[in-house]
Amino acid sequence: MKSIESNFENSEVNKLLQHHFTELRSVSPIGSTHVLDIEGLKSESIKFWSLWENNELIGCGALKLLDKDHGEFKSIRVSNKFRQKGYGKKIISYLISMSEKLGIKKLSVETGAGNFFLPARKLFLNYGFKPCKPFAHYKEDPNSCYYELKI
């Protein structure tokens, strides 16, 4: 598995992100959708990676630097071809590893509370993330779940 940082111009990455944005907005109530578009992912405070295997896009993920010790996972997505095969775990492991290299001590993530987001919630809990209060700019929202992991 190889990774490429910030390759938003790649047509496969672009298509995967567009699908991600469209799908998440379709399953989240207005006001409870926190997905970033490509312009949002280009922020200087965000590191973005796409992950590849044999020149096929596995998926992507981003780390938003909230401060020098605290990061937030954003835009974690597995390509449809690689879903249900353990690649979500590989992406999370990669993002945790990169976070450690950047000196991050605490990771946070927001995900939806609905059934569509159940696999994501299970994945984070399996990695040792614990439920927490809203962080950064987030507020209490019955449509969101918040998790943190000390690394």
The upper half-sphere exposure of residue 79, i.e. CA atoms within 13 Å in the direction of its Cβ, equals 17
- Please, where are the H alpha helices in the chain? 11-27, 38-41, 87-101, 118-126
- The pLDDT assigned to 33 comes to 86
Rounded CA-CA distance 84/81 in Å is 9
pTM of the prediction? 0.93
Q: Please, are residues 89 and 98 in contact by the beta-carbon 8 Å criterion?
A: no
Contacts (Cβ under 8 Å, ≥6 apart) of 150: 105, 106
Rounded CA-CA distance 121/116 in Å is 10
Instruction: Tell whether the torsion through CA atoms of 122, 76, 17 and 42 is positive or negative.
Output: positive
For residue range 35-68, list pLDDT tens digits in order: 888 999 999 999 999 999 999 999 999 999 999 9
**Phi and psi (nearest 5°) for 62?**
-135, 155
Residue type, position 107, single letter: L
Domains and CATH numbers, the chain: 2-150 (3.40.630.30)
For residue range 73-130, list pLDDT tens digits in order: 999 999 999 998 999 999 999 999 999 999 999 999 999 999 999 999 999 999 999 9
Instruction: Tell whether the torsion through CA atoms of 21, 93, 107 and 68 is positive or negative.
Output: negative
